[in-house]
Amino acid sequence: MAAACLAAQRSKDPSTQVGAVIVNETDNKIVGTGYNGMPAGLDDQFPWKRDGEEPLKKKYIYVTHGELNAIMNKSSADVKGCTMYVTLFPCNECAKLIIQSGIRKVIYLSNKYEKSNETQAAKRMFDEAEVKTEQFKTTCSEILINFHECLQ
């Protein structure tokens, strides 16, 4: 989950940064990472606005979700049987991708949109498809990365 949080920090979304890391079934090796961002090459021309009347002037219609990027970036042949660590409970569209890609477990950090239709639909699809969902629990509140120590 720390790796997912680190990936999230690369997102340019000023409001919600979502990171996702996929690990394989056999030895928990990372086989894909991603974060929410505009499709490749479009970064500077598209809005990060979340509010307003016009959908074309808001981020939602354009942004690629962290989960999709993690699956697209996979380094293995496929992600069947894998687990995804993701900093936010996936939406319905990501749930479809996760299910269809063969990922069997989703460990999430935040569920701040729990009451939304998208989250409820996602949960329903995961349950029906028997993809396990579990909130990440830890007693560790932070991981400090010290570049100077890493240099030694």
Ligand X SMILES: O=c1[nH]c(=O)n([C@H]2C[C@H](O)[C@@H](COP(=O)(O)O)O2)cc1CO
Q: Which residues are catalytic?
A: 67
Rounded CA separation 130/60 (Å)? 28
Compute the distance between CA of residue 152 and CA of residue 147 in angstroms, rounded to an integer. Answer: 9
Per DSSP, 57 falls in state G
Name the one range near ligand X by CB under 6 A: 13-21, 25-33, 98-106, 139-147. 13-21
Contact flag: residue 25 with ligand X (CB under 6 A): no
- Confirm whether residue 150 is marked as ligand binding: no
* 117 lines the binding site for ligand X (CB under 6 A): no
Cα–Cα distance measured from residue 152 to residue 135, given in angstroms and rounded to the nearest whole number: 36
Q: C-beta of 38: minimal distance to ligand X in Å?
A: 9
Say which entry of ligand X, Zn ion, none residue 113 contacts (CB below 5 to 8 A, set by partner kind): ligand X
The answer to whether 148 is a known ligand-binding residue is no
Q: Which residues are bridge partners to 86 per DSSP? A: 20, 108
* Spatial contact of 73 and 64, defined as CB atoms under 8 Å apart: no
Three-state SS at 144: coil
**What mask, x for binding Zn ion by CB under 5 A, covers residues 79 to 118?**
------------x--x------------------------
Please report, as residue ranges, which positions from 126 to 145 form the binding site for ligand X (by CB under 6 A): none
- 60: which DSSP letter? G
* Helix and strand totals (H; E) in the chain: 5, 5
Q: Does the footprint of ligand X cover residue 19 (CB under 6 A)?
A: no
Which residues, listed in sequence order, are joined to residue 30 by a DSSP beta bridge?
A: 23
**Of positions 7, 24, 31, 67, contacts ligand X by CB under 6 A:** 67
- Binding-site residues from annotation for Zn(2+): 65, 91, 94
Residues at the site binding ligand X, with contacts judged by CB under 6 A: 13, 15-16, 18, 36, 50, 59, 63, 65-67, 88, 90-91, 94, 113
